[in-house]
Amino acid sequence: MKQMLLLMYACVCVSAGSLAPGHTASAALSVDFNDTTQPAQFELCTSSQKFPLVIAAPIGELLRPHTLSEKEFVTLQSE
């Protein structure tokens, strides 16, 4: 069975109490759904709390490769 891959590009390091209410910290996260329509489930953890998260790709956002010849590509591109 293929498994999803979660890849976080940078850790968000914020010391306790340094993020004021209403402010945010951002990080980039990549999810390789690996041909599944199941949502990615994981936890966002701080030094004192854990928050369950679920990310689902909208149907149609999951793409599958399709091999085309150059001629087929040009024909489809012109439509």
pLDDT digits (tens, 9 = 90+) for 12-71: 777 766 778 888 888 778 888 887 788 888 888 777 888 899 988 877 766 667 788 899
- Number of structural domains found in the chain: 1
Kindly tell me the burial class for residue 21, based on how many C-beta atoms sit within 10 Å of its own C-beta (0-12, 13-18, 19 or more): exposed
pTM over 0.85, yes/no: no
**32 DSSP β-pair partners:** 5
Q: How far apart are CA 20 and CA 38, in angstroms?
A: 35
| DSSP 8-state assignment for residue 71 | H
Which range of residues forms the domain containing residue 56? 5-77
